Each structure stands twice: as C-alpha cells, then as structure tokens.
A and B are shown apart, each in its own frame.
Chain A
Amino acid sequence: MMDWGRRNTLTGLATFPLTFTVSQKISAQSVMANIVIIGGGFGGASAAMFLKKISPDLNITLVEPKTSYYACPFSNLLIDGKREITNQKFSYEGLKSRGVNVIHLRAIDVDPVKKTVTLSESQTLSYDKLIISPGIAFQTNAIDGYGELAQKSMPHAWAGGQDIVRLVRRLKNINDGSTVVISVPQAPYRCPPGPYERASLIASYLKQNKPKSKLIILDGKENFSKQALFERAWAELYPNIIEWRSASNDGRVVSVDASKNQVITDFETLNVGLANIIPPQKAGHIAEVAGLVDITGWCPINPVDFSSTLQNDIYVIGDATIAAPMPKSAFSAAVHAKICAIQILRNLKGLEPQPTILSNTCYSFIAPERAVSITGVYSNSGKAIQSVPGAGGTTPLTATVLEKTAEAYQANIWFQSMTHNAFGSI
C-alpha cells in the first residue's frame, strides 16, 4: 500500500468524526476532519500550511502533480540575467515536514455528492471539505494558429514552470533591430500588471543589448493597471523602445503563424523576432470537471468564506475564482486561502461565517531594481467583494527613484514572506 493510503481516509472507510460534540471528547480545542486540497500553488500551499498551523490535528491532504513549484512572481526578473530559475523553485518538503500529506498525482475527477476526489492513478480520496486552487487554464483556440508548436516557439511563460527560461533564451537569440511582441489578453487574466512588468524588463534588456530593437505590446484592452506609472517609466527609461497598442488601436491578436514568425492583428501582419503570446484564460480544468465554473469559465464563490455557489462543501480560492475587484494575484490567493481556512474551521465548530476586510498589493518592477505598487482594500460582507472607498491606491506618479528602490526592496521581502508562508522555506 502506498504511504499516503495509510494516512488518508479512502473511500469506503469511516471518515473522521466531524461533529462538535465528538471532537470535544478528543480535545476541547481540536477539530478532526479530512480536508483535501487540490493544487499546491500559492493558494493551495498557503491554505495547507495555515490550516496545519492553526489546527494541527486536521488531516490535510494536498494533491499536486509536480514535485517542485516554480513561482511566477519575480520570474520576469530572469530577463535581466541576475536572477536564476533556482530562485523561483520551491519544494513540498516544508509542508510534508509539518504533517501535510502531499500526494504528487493529478486530480482527475471530483464527485461532490459522494465527496470524493479521483486521482490520476485511479485512487480515490474522500473529504469532509475540499479546497480547490487549480490556477488557470488557457483558451488556446481563441488565437488561430496558437497550437502546440506555436506555444513552444511563442511561449506565454504565464503558468510558472521553466517556460520563462525558454522565453529568455529566445530573447537573447534575436538579432538587433528585431521586433518583439507581447500580446495581452482581455480581462480577467492572471496578474493584471504582469505583462507591463515583463515589457519593462524586456525593454531594459533591449536598451542595453539590442538597442535597435522595438517592443510592441498588443493589448486586448483599452487601458491597464498602473498605466500612468508604467508609461512614465517607459518614457523616462526606455524612450522609443516600447509601443503600446490598445484593442481599438489594432491591438487585438487574431492569429499567429509560428512557422513564419508572424503575429496577425485585425489590420496588420507583424514579422517578429520573438512573440510572447499570453492567451485568454479560464479557471484550471479540474474546476470545470468538478462543476464549479459558470458561463464565464471562472468559479463563482460566496465571498465571505470562498465556498462554491454551485457545490456543497467545496471551496475555491486563488486565480480560479470570480473575486473581482480583487485581482488574480498570489497575494490575493494567500488572502483567500487564510480566510477560507478560518471559515472552514468556524463551520466545523458550528460557528457562523464572519465577514472581514481583505487586501491586495501587487509590486511591479519597472526596471531591475525599481518597483511600483498598487494596493486594494476590500470588504466581503455583501453578495460580492467590494472595494472599500477611500483606501488603496498606487505609488504616486511623483515618487522618487529612492522610493521606487525602497518598493523593490519591499517587494523582495514580500516574495520571501509569501513563499515562506506557503512552502515553509525562506
């Protein structure tokens, strides 16, 4: 029998006692329950770590096919060449050593009625509560020609892993005088300011190494996050390198031809040295399989506790959720994770869900050692998450180089804190 089989309640075997009275017999404070988490990214790993910390007796199983997690935040800094892919890599040993059962298999099915999850080697896990944090999937058919071949030669590098290394290698191989294209999908998508951070760092590389080259951002939208701050930085630091085209200014990518290195918009065919095509997105596939997505392709949730509005005893956190105006960020995913964890425990103890204040801050690098940020503060006391008036905002447009350097420093601490909280490493 596999190791995990002993520690997890398999289908057909008795589940752990759940009710308040039974758990009280064991310990006045502890709650016994089987919690299964699908997805060991920022959402799922943070949830597992946090649950284990506040309630060590819980039986927590994390299902994640990969044995290493490569974080997206800070991955754009690899473009500069000073940051290594190893700085993005996190293992699950920290979670295992704290008593989380980590199973490196893929969840392929969820039965919300029997409350079971089927794994890729056809084992079945049963749960009292299921948390799903599967991240995103790509609508690759939204862009004609963006099949498997094109995904390799025009990588999105938007789903973690080592794709970013391939993108950087390709960037290094372009000739001076080439055109680089970044295509940005329509909202909602993972990390709203991310494409513009990437553009800034590519422009920084081009300016130093391929100064005759150009970078065109083809955008599926009319405006973007921290736009004034980015545009100011581009004008100051990378004059005449970046051209941004909004959707109504022929920014929409209709198709690509990978064999000819062409990106095609409504009115133009661009011959490119490198294309970074970031396709439109939807919730990770398992969310669809579990019946958790609505017509938008994303998962509706009750904002107070992140429980699915479509299935009982299943909670969705992170990028897969409909949690706007909170952006799809690692910061948000960790906030969802911790709120969801507390509310699940409240529920198991027979307490009502309790509304709270949520927040998000996204730092973006405008140059290798300078960052700007955007903060949002939200309330989840209503039917949908809402911004708290008078709070939040961005780095001021008038911020000095010193302040932007300080924000880059804060961003570093943020990354270290976030990964420590999720994976137990520093």
Chain B
Amino acid sequence: MMSSKIGPIILGAVLTLILLNACQRQAVPRADMPLLTDTSLSKGALLSVSCNNCHAKTGLGIPNYSNHSAKRIKKYLTFYKTDTNGTSVMHRMARGLSDEEIALIAGYLEASK
C-alpha cells in the first residue's frame, strides 16, 4: 500500500506525466524567440526566473510547461501549494507563493511560450 507521504508525490508525477504526454503530442519545435516586450520585464517574468533552472526546453523528459495554458499551470501550482502532505521540491517551492503570484507566473509562462 502507498504511504500517505508518497501518495501525493506519485500523484504529482503522474499528473505531470499526463500533461507531458499531452504536450508532446502537439509539440512544435520553436526557436528561442526574442522577448523584449513588457511581459519579459513584468512581475510575472521576475517571479518565473527559477522555473527553467529545472524545466528548460531541453526535451530531456522533465515535465515541461512550454505548451501548457495558464489555467493548467495555475491548477498545478495551486495543487502543490495546498497539498499539505507533499514533500517534493515543487511542494516546498509553491508554498512560498501567494495565489496572486501563482496567477502571475501562470500568465507569464503562457505568454512566453
């Protein structure tokens, strides 16, 4: 039986894998786009600087948010923030974010696709 501690981690991993598969199906290779718009200097951009330290577009199998909608990203970050049993890196990070900050990150990541 799954312990209550690792349950959420596995759930998180499974959810991200489902998402990953979904985005692999529709993946279109994109060049690194020039981004100097107000978005790239926004609060959302500043809040998102840690993300691609692990989720870079290397195509190497980390759950990659590059094709996710803001709604989906918000849903996952909110899951990590509110899931009190979770111990994964994403849980530890998301707990430091307010709902407003999560919305800004989600919006930025969608806009910077």
Residue ranges of A at the interface with B (Cβ–Cβ < 8 Å): 29-31, 53-57, 98, 331, 334-335, 338-339, 342, 345-346, 349, 351, 354, 356-361, 373, 375, 377-378, 388, 390-393, 395-396, 398-400, 402-403, 406-407, 410, 413-414, 416-418, 420-421, 426
**Out of B36, B45, B57, B62, which one reaches A30, CB within 8 Å?**
B36
In the complex, per-residue mask of B94-113: 1 if CB is within 8 Å of any chain A CB, else 0: 11110001000000000000
| In the complex with contacts A357-B96, A426-B60, A56-B53 CB distance below 8 A | no
A399 vs B93: C-alpha distance in the bound complex, in angstroms? 18
Tell me the smallest distance from the CB of A262 to a CB of chain B, in Å: 42
Q: In the assembled complex, which residues on chain B have CB atoms less than 8 Å from the CB atom of A56? A: 34, 36
Q: A335-B50, A339-B49 are in contact. Are A391 and B6 (CB under 8 A)?
A: no
Q: B40: which of A342, A402, A418 is its contact (CB, 8 Å)?
A: A342
- Listed in ascending order, the chain B residues whose CB lies under 8 Å from chain A are 5-6, 9, 13, 32, 34-37, 40-41, 43, 45-47, 49-50, 52-62, 87, 89, 92-97, 101
Inside 8 A of A339's CB, which chain B residues have their CB?
46, 49
Contacts of A57 in B (CB 8 A): 36
Query: With A29-B37, A354-B46 in contact, is A375–B52 under 8 Å at CB?
Result: no
B12: min CB distance to chain A, Å: 11
Main secondary structure of the interface of A (DSSP, over half): mixed
**B36: chain A residues within 8 A (beta carbon):** 29-31, 54-57, 345
Given contacts A403-B9, A416-B58, A420-B58, contact A342 B41 (CB under 8 A): yes
Question: Given that A53-B35, A391-B92 are known contacts, is A335 also in contact with B52, CB under 8 Å in the complex?
Answer: no
Query: In the complex the two chains form, is A359's CB within 8 Å of B41's CB?
Result: no
The total of interchain contacts (Cβ-Cβ below 8 angstroms) comes to 128
> Which B residues lie within 8 Å of A417 (CB)?
52-56, 58, 62
Most buried by B among A54, A57, A395, A426: A54
Cβ of A149 to closest chain B Cβ, rounded Å: 39
CA distance A24 to B35 in the complex (A): 16
Given the complex of chains A and B, what is the CA–CA distance between A55 and B40 in angstroms? 9
13 A-B residue pairings within 8 Å (CB atoms): A331-B50, A331-B53, A335-B53, A356-B46, A361-B53, A377-B92, A391-B97, A392-B93, A396-B5, A414-B54, A416-B58, A416-B60, A417-B52
A420 touches B56 (CB 8 A): yes
| Partner of A342 from B45, B50, B96 at Cβ < 8 Å | B45
